[in-house]
């Protein structure tokens, strides 16, 4: 157990108030559990004292590594940089603000040792968050769940442990607008949900203002669903259907001769029929765009977990 290296990836954006405490707590937990570890702090372009604090830590402790971005590239990109830099056998992604308790890491590691490749932490409860955040998060996960083509677990953040091989697959997904928790579900492998209670932020305030949250939510939905495009086609189909009914109805009125306003029939039918046709055409174009989008994401076609009885025996097998 001790010979395995655990890489802990911590993104930080304006976290001067929590950086030191985060390091202390992580170090304490990892030392006590006697795990071999490295800490990868990613400074996502903060211009407060976050970077100087991290530099100081790195001077004293060679297990602490620091990557610093030239500007703010966002949480998901910071985590991605950490995954690229990690050298461990297992990678743990954790928020800097101690909302995800570092004390759970040994439990995540234990599950990994049992053979799970992704151990994600599922929040049972979220303390100290505004009703607005809780409500929007709930709606978002519900909506994502109904739209998405892959099963993305509800109430799950990026706090998780992934096996090295999952990290390798992740590195081969070059898409630009990254929604990591969705990508980690998409890869498959043996996944385990570990329930925990989400704590309050140790200090400071959220670095996810509404604008970032909306971008994050739309990344999640657009990257994992082309249903909105399909809906346009359905809508077009329904409109055409309605216009045909209208056509029949107005023809009947015309023939019987009751209440027939001159011009009414042709206008109504033309408007509804052509708007239906337009929507349908948009939907069809949308389907092609969805294909182009899918291709441009350049995700691997499939992911092999194990190969049995093949020549190269070395690295594909689990021990």
Q: How far is the CB of 232 from Mg ion (least distance, A)?
A: 36
By CB under 6 A, what part of segment 230-269 binds ligand UDP? none
Residues touching ligand UDP, count (CB under 6 A): 16
Q: How far is the CB of 112 from ligand UDP (least distance, A)?
A: 22
Q: Kind of pairing, strands 191-198 and 156-163? A: unpaired
The entry of ligand UDP, Mg ion, none that residue 283 binds, CB within 5 to 8 Å by partner kind: none
Six token digits for residue 52? 């100087």
Residues touching Mg ion, count (CB under 5 A): 3
The CA-based diameter of the chain, rounded to the nearest angstrom, is 93
Closest CA to 48 of 96, 81, 84: 96
Handedness of CA 202, 86, 215, 50 (dihedral sign): positive
Binding residue for ligand UDP, selected from 17, 38, 97, 117, defined by CB under 6 A: 97
Question: Does 219 engage in binding with ligand UDP (CB under 6 A)?
Answer: no
- Which stretches of the chain are assigned E, i.e. beta strand? 5-12, 36-43, 64-68, 90-93, 118-126, 156-163, 191-198
Question: Does 296 engage in binding with ligand UDP (CB under 6 A)?
Answer: no
Question: Does 74 engage in binding with ligand UDP (CB under 6 A)?
Answer: yes
Question: Does 148 engage in binding with Mg ion (CB under 5 A)?
Answer: no
Question: Does 14 engage in binding with Mg ion (CB under 5 A)?
Answer: no
Task: Annotate 142-177 with b (16+ C-beta within 10 A) or e (fewer).
Answer: eebeebbeeebeebbbbbbbbbbbbbebbeebeeee
The entry of Mg ion, ligand UDP, none that residue 72 binds, CB within 5 to 8 Å by partner kind: ligand UDP
Q: How far is the CB of 9 from Mg ion (least distance, A)?
A: 15
> Which range, of 30-38, 117-125, 183-191, 206-214, touches ligand UDP by CB under 6 A?
206-214
Binding residue for Mg ion, selected from 15, 17, 38, 97, defined by CB under 5 A: 97
Question: Does 281 engage in binding with ligand UDP (CB under 6 A)?
Answer: no
Binding residue for ligand UDP, selected from 207, 229, 239, 280, defined by CB under 6 A: 207
Six token digits for residue 275? 């708007």
Residues whose CB falls within 8 Å of the CB of residue 319, separated by 6 or more in sequence, listed in order? none
By CB under 6 A, what part of segment 26-55 binds ligand UDP? 44
Q: Please state, in angstroms and rounded to a whole number, the distance separating the CA atoms of residues 132 and 204.
A: 18
Helix H, strand E, coil C: the string for 24-46 is HHHHHHHHHCCCEEEEEEEECCC
Q: How far is the CB of 135 from Mg ion (least distance, A)?
A: 17
Task: Annotate 208-223 with b (16+ C-beta within 10 A) or e (fewer).
Answer: eeeeeeeebbebbbeb
Q: How far is the CB of 195 from ligand UDP (least distance, A)?
A: 18
Q: How far is residue 154 CA from its own chain's centroid?
A: 11
Question: Does 99 engage in binding with Mg ion (CB under 5 A)?
Answer: yes
Question: Does 17 engage in binding with ligand UDP (CB under 6 A)?
Answer: no
The residue (of 141 and 293) whose beta carbon lies closer to Mg ion is 141
Residues that bind ligand UDP (CB under 6 A): 11-13, 15, 44, 72, 74-75, 78, 95-97, 99, 206-208
Residues that bind Mg ion (CB under 5 A): 95, 97, 99
């Amino acid at each position: 157990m001790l010979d395995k290296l655990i890489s802990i990836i911590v993104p930080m954006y304006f976290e001067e108030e929590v950086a030191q405490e985060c390091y202390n707590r992580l170090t304490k937990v990892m030392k006590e559990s006697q795990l071999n570890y490295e800490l990868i702090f990613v400074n996502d372009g903060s211009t407060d004292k976050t970077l100087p604090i991290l530099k100081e830590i790195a001077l004293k402790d060679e297990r602490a590594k620091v990557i610093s971005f030239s500007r703010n590239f966002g949480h998901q990109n910071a985590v991605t940089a950490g995954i690229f830099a990690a050298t461990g056998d297992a990678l743990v992604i954790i928020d800097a603000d101690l909302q995800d308790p570092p004390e759970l890491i040994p439990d995540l590691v234990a599950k990994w040792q049992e053979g799970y490749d992704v151990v994600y932490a599922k929040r049972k409860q979220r303390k100290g968050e505004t009703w607005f955040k809780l409500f929007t998060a709930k709606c978002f996960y519900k909506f994502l769940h109904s739209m998405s083509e892959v099963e993305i677990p509800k109430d799950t953040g990026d706090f998780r442990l992934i096996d090295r091989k999952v990290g390798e697959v992740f590195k081969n997904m070059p898409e630009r607008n990254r929604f990591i928790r969705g990508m980690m579900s998409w890869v498959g492998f043996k996944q385990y949900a570990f329930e925990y209670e989400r704590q309050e932020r140790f200090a400071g305030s959220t670095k996810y203002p509404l604008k970032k949250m909306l971008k994050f939510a739309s990344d999640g939905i657009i990257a994992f669903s082309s249903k909105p495009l399909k809906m346009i086609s359905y809508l077009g189909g329904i409109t055409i259907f309605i216009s045909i009914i209208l056509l029949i109805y107005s023809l009947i009125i015309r023939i019987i001769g009751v209440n027939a306003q001159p011009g009414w029939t042709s206008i109504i039918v033309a408007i509804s029929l052509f708007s239906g046709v337009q929507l349908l055409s948009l939907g069809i174009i949308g389907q092609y765009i969805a294909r182009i989008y899918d291709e441009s994401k350049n995700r691997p076609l499939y992911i092999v977990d194990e190969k049995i009885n093949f020549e190269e025996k070395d690295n594909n097998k689990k021990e």
